[in-house]
A and B are shown apart, each in its own frame.
Chain A
């Protein structure tokens, strides 16, 4: 499946899960900031991606988990170097380069764009 084909299917998933228009779903659009996703929508997106692409997504595989609660990983609202390393190791489909200059916990959700989902699916199908 080409990247464009993956994007097409991801777009269908997001139009359905977030009730947005097709032309809003561009690779650079942030799920939270631009498309208005809320926490439960992430679960919805995971379920729908599984259905559409026919693979199983483990908890914490696509979106981060168990980072915010760990004092080793988060201090005063900032993700520590250990935390950044853990996120990078767990979520290879996410581009952390701009964010890690000022790794605020509150902005982690904004890192997830339509392109992130396409990266994730591409890696998952390529495995």
Chain B
């Protein structure tokens, strides 16, 4: 899972989730590890691709929830993605997904990524400086499309492709996430 908790859910419209970036995540130790030969120190930065994954999970849960998880919802296309700043251990990311259009075939979702750099906010508050928007800063925007896979297999000359009857996209981890978030 690349989101920790759902903090807002307006069914069929909008879902907001947060992700705490932690040094306990092993990938941060390799991305990027120190390079002794070149004299470079370690730079633990969350890969942009994983931010996209978190954003896609946020959007996917929103689209899946709309039909009570009756369909397998898959990320089908990222039309546009822009990430302007890094996230590192100790930061919190906030993913906001908004459904722009949804029908039986799929949905388009607009996503925005905000970052809360606790260290900077703490430093600013300690020095008496003003903190705008409680310290949240937008660092990315993503346009995505999701497909209701169940309604798309068999069409367009793809007849005969089978897939499991159970919902293989929304497993226990997604249900646990929503439940533990109070939804």
Enumerate A1-44 residues with CB–CB distance to B below 8 Å: 16-17, 39-44
Is the pair A17, B106 in contact by a Cβ cutoff of 8 Å? no
Is the pair B157, A108 in contact by a Cβ cutoff of 8 Å? yes
**Cα A16 to Cα B79 with chains together (Å):** 8
Interface size on A, residues (CB 8 A): 21
Enumerate B143-170 residues with CB–CB distance to A below 8 Å: 145, 147, 152, 154-159
Interface: B108 (CB within 8 A)? yes
Interface: B131 (CB within 8 A)? no
Is the pair B157, A59 in contact by a Cβ cutoff of 8 Å? no
Is the pair B157, A105 in contact by a Cβ cutoff of 8 Å? yes
**Cα A47 to Cα B152 with chains together (Å):** 16
A39 shortest CB reach to chain B, Å: 6
A106 shortest CB reach to chain B, Å: 6
**Cα A90 to Cα B46 with chains together (Å):** 49
Q: Contact partner of A109 among B77, B106, B157, CB < 8 A?
A: B157
A-B residue pairs in contact (CB < 8 Å), sample of 13: A39-B152, A39-B156, A40-B106, A43-B76, A43-B105, A47-B108, A59-B103, A65-B155, A68-B156, A69-B154, A69-B155, A74-B159, A105-B157
